[in-house]
């Protein structure tokens, strides 16, 4: 159930407990660029492969006083609502902080041969402590009826190249202090689509897995019940579907599955992408209609 631990500072992996999981943890580096784009905090990433099935990287994301991103991560077949997994990760973070009081000491120590031995001892302790609680944990789907559900963005890409993208919450531009002009919206959605396509493509190339979910906290949200964001990734005949929403995860996932089912019927997805965007132009209007149709679910 517990497959590996890592410590990452910016784009430098300071520690990885299992070299077979190194490529999976590299995905955090790809997502880290998206964090800087939005100033959101990473919570967890869900991956899927034919060999292993689904596994989840849970993350303790710390933004240092210098604005650097420090990640303590653990990967395993954790459920999205596992409290025990996050308790274990929190203890991992605290144990490391006890050994290395500040970031400078942590970074310096990571270059010493004894560093791996110290962290391995912490991990052995955590394995023994949390293996049984994780196996016996009962997880219930939370309804979160007080949480407002909104679709923020939907996009389609192929071979890492954005095809179409639709922004449904123009307030996302407020993070960049830009006016909500058509030009700014188009530039923003194009940039966002490219970043999501890059994450999806790099995950397949480097980790030989498909990325399914990214869960985040919006650090700028003034409403705690609406600060949870989720990015869902899907695939239709080699085309990638991206979906950003806020609210109840289980409702959002249901909407996304229905969106994929409806879009899979469109003839545009029956042929390989040739680089010609014209056959896909109508999907912008199609996406709008699909999102409107799903509004009653919220």
How far, in whole angstroms, is CA 271 from its chain's centroid? 29
Q: Are residues 199 and 281 in the same domain?
A: yes
pLDDT truncated to tens, each residue of the chain (298 aa)? 789 999 999 989 999 999 999 999 999 998 988 877 777 899 999 999 988 899 999 999 998 888 889 999 999 999 988 999 999 999 999 999 999 999 999 999 999 999 999 999 999 999 999 999 999 998 876 655 566 778 889 989 887 788 888 888 887 776 666 677 888 888 888 888 888 988 998 898 989 999 999 999 987 665 555 588 999 999 999 898 998 998 888 888 988 888 888 888 888 999 899 888 888 888 887 777 767 765 544 4
Q: Are residues 26 and 106 in the same domain?
A: yes
Phi, psi of 96 (to 5 degrees): -65, -40
Q: Are residues 86 and 168 in the same domain?
A: no
CA angle, residues 35, 93, 124, in degrees to nearest 5: 125
- 211 close to 199: Cβ distance less than 8 angstroms: yes
Distances (CA, A) of 91 to 52, 96, 103, 123, 155: 26, 9, 17, 10, 37
Q: Are residues 197 and 272 in the same domain?
A: yes
CATH of the domain at 71: 3.30.450.50
CATH of the domain at 286: 3.30.450
- The model's pLDDT over 99-125, given as tens digits with 9 standing for 90+, comes to 999 999 999 999 999 999 999 999 999
Whole-angstrom Cα distance, residue 134 to residue 129?
10
Phi, psi of 103 (to 5 degrees): -65, -35
**pTM for the full predicted model:** 0.91
Label each residue of 147-199 as H, E or C.
Answer: CCCEEEEEEEEECCEEEEEEECCHHHHHHHCCCCCHHHHHHHHHHHHHHHHHH
User: Residue 145 falls within a domain, yes or no?
Assistant: no
Distances (CA, A) of 227 to 31, 36, 147, 157: 18, 16, 9, 27
Whole-angstrom Cα distance, residue 222 to residue 214?
21
pLDDT at 136: 93
Single out the residue of 216, 80, 14 nearest to residue 5, CA to CA. Answer: 14
Whole-angstrom Cα distance, residue 198 to residue 80?
24
Residues 6 or more apart whose CB falls under 8 angstroms from that of 113 comprise none
Q: Are residues 116 and 6 in the same domain?
A: yes
Whole-angstrom Cα distance, residue 179 to residue 246?
22
Instruction: Report how many domains make up the chain.
Output: 2
Q: Are residues 157 and 197 in the same domain?
A: yes
pLDDT at 169: 84
Single out the residue of 109, 118, 119 nearest to residue 16, CA to CA. Answer: 119
Whole-angstrom Cα distance, residue 28 to residue 44?
9
User: Residue 142 falls within a domain, yes or no?
Assistant: no
* Structure token digits, residue 8: 């990452």
Residue 255 lies in domain: 150-297
């Amino acid at each position: 159930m517990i497959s590996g631990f890592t410590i990452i500072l910016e784009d430098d992996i300071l520690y990885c407990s299992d070299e077979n999981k190194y490529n999976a943890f590299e995905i955090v580096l790809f997502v880290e660029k998206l964090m800087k784009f939005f100033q959101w905090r990473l919570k967890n990433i869900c991956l899927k492969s034919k060999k292993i099935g689904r596994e989840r990287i849970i993350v303790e994301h710390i933004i240092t006083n210098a604005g650097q991103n420090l990640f303590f991560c653990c990967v395993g077949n954790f459920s999205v609502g596992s409290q025990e997994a996050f308790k274990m990760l929190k203890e991992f973070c605290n144990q490391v902080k006890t050994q290395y009081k500040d970031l400078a000491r942590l970074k310096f120590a990571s270059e010493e041969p004894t560093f791996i031995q110290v962290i391995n001892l912490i991990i052995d302790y955590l394995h023994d402590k949390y293996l049984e609680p994780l196996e016996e944990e009962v997880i219930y789907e939370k309804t979160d009826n007080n949480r407002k559900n909104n679709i923020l963005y939907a996009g389609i890409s192929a071979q890492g190249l954005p095809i179409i993208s639709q922004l449904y919450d123009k307030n996302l531009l407020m993070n960049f202090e830009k006016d909500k002009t058509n030009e700014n919206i188009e530039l923003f959605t194009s940039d966002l689509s490219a970043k999501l396509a890059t994450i999806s493509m790099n995950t397949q190339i480097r980790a030989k897995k498909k990325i399914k979910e990214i869960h985040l906290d919006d650090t700028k949200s003034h409403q705690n019940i609406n600060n949870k964001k989720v990015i869902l990734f899907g695939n239709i005949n080699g085309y990638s579907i991206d979906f950003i929403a806020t609210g109840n995860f289980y409702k959002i996932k249901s909407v996304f599955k229905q969106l994929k089912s409806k879009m899979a019927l469109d003839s545009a997805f029956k042929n390989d992408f040739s680089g010609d965007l014209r056959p896909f132009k109508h999907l912008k209007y199609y996406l709008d209609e699909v999102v409107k149709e799903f509004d009653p679910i919220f």
